[in-house]
A and B are shown apart, each in its own frame.
Chain A
């Protein structure tokens, strides 16, 4: 299996919202589609999922033009949606029927995911019935918290046991406990060799799961490739240092760029390891007490801000 997007172009009138986008997923895992708001991520996802038409390019699944309705796919949309007044079980069975899942299989999967996502009490309210009291009514979406609604939607996305999953901002709005629950599910998807496209503004999550990334800005690719390789290409240019004495004089003397000064120390941009070592040697030579020293590659967050910021400046 593979997913390939080739030279994709989408226009609304004269406005180009996706411009010559290409990327490829040749093996299972998580691919990150990043970008600022309005960068074209959701439009790209909708095109891949067959919801939107496009003007140029190709979307290939396993080397053939992708017909989304013929691929077993799951989708957790950025803008969450459930029928507010219909019973949760009815909705889940309906979404399963749209995926052509037999009712008995659907019921088994609903039971599995309800337990896994800890929403059994909402899907099966009868289980919470108190003896001698009236059987509780079926729960509807509008009776659930935002986080629980998100869990139900995650269930909808995974009910068909999809081979290809699109998660658009899967962790937004979740508390840390539920965020961990969702992360464990994403890990389960990776373990089960699923193809996952993830879009998120939470860069730490992307770094945790994704090997390859594409950063979009106003429909254009500003950075693309293997995340580790990208980071390596930047080199270890981020230096964190905290000393007992004030070292501002040393930094100024070497003409280094202080990115941030916090009680936790200085965050300094260096040109490479040699420059960092030179500062460190000077401090050691002058008997400065070093509490913390760290030299690392830039984080995805920093790369993103740099790239998208640059692109904004150019435009």
Chain B
């Protein structure tokens, strides 16, 4: 069977992949990233309010209000929550209660309250909580607004986290409590207590949306995806360049080239690095899923099921990636892979431009420079796209440029800002650029791989490209 320029790339791929996965750097990266992913959801839930959705250990909640009439609302809100379904709520009598029209709540000693404190919390092993509610009208007062004072027994029967959780719960349900106290029915009160968000749409004369900015959540998600892509490409590119310089400096390449062509070497290495990144990303995704289950076990009311931290679900919802479907996901993955291959070959050329491992940073300037241009263009476009349409038609320059496409098009496609048709055009353009780069690499790589001496400069590459390559 005749051999082509790519014959043997799969052997290079398998060996490079296996050795990369065995390397300490990959193992450490994998373990650290998986550990971070695994603990991330429980830690987020803990920071957000540990165990706030768990069944409360509080047996009775007693509400005592001074100068306000919301105790019934508070009682209803607590009782309607699953976490407090085993807890009974009672509103205590306050004979001196009246709505105060003074700005300052005067904290007189209330004998009734003091008696309740003794009666409720003075019992040994009490698992009860007393909630005192009062209102301060003076804006200058530190306690301005509706205040809750939560008392619990420090005898150890009830953990302080239970009081903390109740406090957090009452704060979170503040709006709901107000609407219910004002007589609004529960369903409407739930609706009214939701956050207010907005989108801005510019319409043309035909009623079509002509510009669409990105939301705050999309902005953050875009940054996160940009960083993941940037780290992945940087990690893999460095690996490709390092392996090529190592093979050059140790002269292993002399032997390998008797069995495979330079193109097979670089292709095998680029795809092996891609596989390493996908393996690590895959392991991290699995860790995130496991983290969701751990989070569920630790913090879900019923326990056991997958649960995302509220801090994430409140911020990112399906609206953020409204255009995510099988087609857009596939197009996004292809664009990511194309970008990866493009940068991988660029890293390969960068690595081949030097002869010694200590000169690697000099050689990878081309790769780093290209990657930074792509990343900065993307960041600039993301920043100018919040609430607007970015740079108008110039956006397409960033979408179509192979340096920036993998950083922005996948996320913009999932957001619905870039259409699948544009995505396909990006794929075609990137494919042409990748082929062009591979063609250039095939012309200059042979000379580069034997280059022993000072690091080459970018202009040297173009001179090599102009010269005839691989004549006979």
**Interface positions of A (Cβ within 8 A of B):** 46, 49-55, 67-70, 73-75, 77, 79-84, 86, 90, 94-95, 97-99, 153, 156-157
B252 touches A54 (CB 8 A): no
Cα distance, A50 to B446, chains bound together (Å): 11
Checking A49, A81, A95 against B253 with a beta-carbon cut-off of 8 angstroms, the contacting residue is: A81
Q: Which residues of B contact A54 (CB under 8 A)?
A: 471-472
Contact with A along B309-327 (1 / 0, CB 8 A): 0000000000000000000
Q: Name the distance in Å between A69's Cβ and chain B's nearest Cβ.
A: 4
Q: Residue of A at shortest CB range from B24?
A: A85
B470 touches A75 (CB 8 A): no
A69 touches B256 (CB 8 A): no
Asked if B450 CB lies within 8 Å of chain A CBs, one says yes
Cα distance, A178 to B446, chains bound together (Å): 34
User: A94-B11, A98-B11 known; A84 and B258 CB under 8 Å?
Assistant: no
Cα distance, A75 to B15, chains bound together (Å): 20
Q: Which residues of B contact A73 (CB under 8 A)?
A: 258
Best-buried of A46, A83, A90 by chain B (most CB within 10 Å) = A83
B261 touches A83 (CB 8 A): no
Asked if B18 CB lies within 8 Å of chain A CBs, one says yes
Further contacts, 20 of them, CB under 8 A, given A51-B450, A67-B3, A80-B251: A51-B446, A52-B446, A52-B450, A54-B471, A67-B2, A69-B7, A70-B3, A73-B258, A77-B251, A79-B251, A81-B247, A81-B250, A81-B251, A81-B254, A83-B250, A84-B246, A86-B19, A97-B15, A98-B259, A99-B259
What are 22 A-B contacts defined by CB distance under 8 Å? A50-B257, A51-B446, A52-B450, A53-B470, A54-B472, A67-B3, A69-B259, A75-B254, A75-B258, A77-B255, A79-B254, A81-B251, A81-B253, A82-B252, A90-B19, A94-B11, A95-B256, A97-B11, A97-B15, A98-B8, A98-B12, A98-B259
B258 touches A53 (CB 8 A): no
A68 touches B258 (CB 8 A): yes
Cα distance, A51 to B446, chains bound together (Å): 8
Q: Which residues of A contact B259 (CB under 8 A)?
A: 69, 95, 98-99
Best-buried of B247, B251, B257, B259 by chain A (most CB within 10 Å) = B259
Cα distance, A74 to B446, chains bound together (Å): 20
Q: Which residues of A contact B257 (CB under 8 A)?
A: 49-51
A82 touches B260 (CB 8 A): no
Contact with A along B248-287 (1 / 0, CB 8 A): 0011111111111100000000000000000000000000
A69 touches B471 (CB 8 A): no
Q: Name the distance in Å between B195's Cβ and chain A's nearest Cβ.
A: 54
Q: Name the distance in Å between A83's Cβ and chain B's nearest Cβ.
A: 6
Q: Which residues of A contact B472 (CB under 8 A)?
A: 53-55
Asked if B156 CB lies within 8 Å of chain A CBs, one says no
Checking A50, A55, A79, A83 against B471 with a beta-carbon cut-off of 8 angstroms, the contacting residue is: A55
Q: Which residues of B contact A79 (CB under 8 A)?
A: 251, 254
Q: Name the distance in Å between A207's Cβ and chain B's nearest Cβ.
A: 27
Q: Which residues of A contact B253 (CB under 8 A)?
A: 81
Q: Name the distance in Å between B271's Cβ and chain A's nearest Cβ.
A: 16
Q: Which residues of B contact A50 (CB under 8 A)?
A: 257-258
User: A75-B258, A98-B8 known; A90 and B18 CB under 8 Å?
Assistant: yes
Q: Name the distance in Å between B357's Cβ and chain A's nearest Cβ.
A: 10
Q: Name the distance in Å between A209's Cβ and chain B's nearest Cβ.
A: 22
Cα distance, A95 to B259, chains bound together (Å): 8
Q: Which residues of A contact B15 (CB under 8 A)?
A: 90, 94, 97
Q: Residue of B at shortest CB range from A160?
A: B259
Cα distance, A90 to B20, chains bound together (Å): 13
Cα distance, A51 to B11, chains bound together (Å): 18
Q: Residue of A at shortest CB range from B243?
A: A83
Contact with A along B428-472 (1 / 0, CB 8 A): 000000000000000000100010000000000000000001111
Cα distance, A69 to B258, chains bound together (Å): 7
Q: Name the distance in Å between A190's Cβ and chain B's nearest Cβ.
A: 21
A75 touches B255 (CB 8 A): yes
Cα distance, A95 to B252, chains bound together (Å): 10
Q: Name the distance in Å between A84's Cβ and chain B's nearest Cβ.
A: 6
Cα distance, A94 to B260, chains bound together (Å): 12
Q: Which residues of A contact B261 (CB under 8 A)?
A: 69
Q: Which residues of B contact A69 (CB under 8 A)?
A: 3, 7, 259-261
Checking B11, B250, B256 against A84 with a beta-carbon cut-off of 8 angstroms, the contacting residue is: B250
Q: Which residues of A contact B11 (CB under 8 A)?
A: 94, 97-98
Cα distance, A61 to B14, chains bound together (Å): 31
Cα distance, A153 to B258, chains bound together (Å): 13
Cα distance, A146 to B409, chains bound together (Å): 52
A53 touches B7 (CB 8 A): no
Q: Residue of B at shortest CB range from A80?
A: B251
A70 touches B446 (CB 8 A): no
Cα distance, A21 to B254, chains bound together (Å): 22
B252 touches A83 (CB 8 A): yes
Cα distance, A97 to B7, chains bound together (Å): 12
Q: Name the distance in Å between B240's Cβ and chain A's nearest Cβ.
A: 15
Give residues of chain B (63-111) contacting chain A, Cβ–Cβ below 8 Å: none
User: A69-B3, A86-B19 known; A81 and B469 CB under 8 Å?
Assistant: no
Q: Which residues of A contact B471 (CB under 8 A)?
A: 53-55
Q: Name the distance in Å between A42's Cβ and chain B's nearest Cβ.
A: 9
Checking A55, A81, A157 against B252 with a beta-carbon cut-off of 8 angstroms, the contacting residue is: A81
Q: Which residues of B contact A75 (CB under 8 A)?
A: 254-255, 258
Q: Which residues of A contact B2 (CB under 8 A)?
A: 67, 70
Contact with A along B1-41 (1 / 0, CB 8 A): 01100011001101100110000000000000000000000
Best-buried of A70, A81, A84 by chain B (most CB within 10 Å) = A81
Q: Residue of A at shortest CB range from B12?
A: A98
Q: Residue of B at shortest CB range from A86?
A: B19
Cα distance, A99 to B259, chains bound together (Å): 6
Q: Name the distance in Å between B130's Cβ and chain A's nearest Cβ.
A: 63
A98 touches B256 (CB 8 A): yes
Q: Residue of A at shortest CB range from B10?
A: A97
Q: Which residues of A contact B450 (CB under 8 A)?
A: 46, 51-52
Q: Which residues of B contact A81 (CB under 8 A)?
A: 247, 250-255
Q: Residue of B at shortest CB range from A47?
A: B472
Q: Name the distance in Å between A206's Cβ and chain B's nearest Cβ.
A: 22
Cα distance, A74 to B259, chains bound together (Å): 9
Q: Which residues of A contact B260 (CB under 8 A)?
A: 69, 98
Checking A53, A55, A83 against B469 with a beta-carbon cut-off of 8 angstroms, the contacting residue is: A53
Q: Which residues of B contact A67 (CB under 8 A)?
A: 2-3
Q: Name the distance in Å between A21's Cβ and chain B's nearest Cβ.
A: 14
Q: Name the distance in Å between B323's Cβ and chain A's nearest Cβ.
A: 44
Q: Name the distance in Å between A59's Cβ and chain B's nearest Cβ.
A: 9
B252 touches A51 (CB 8 A): no
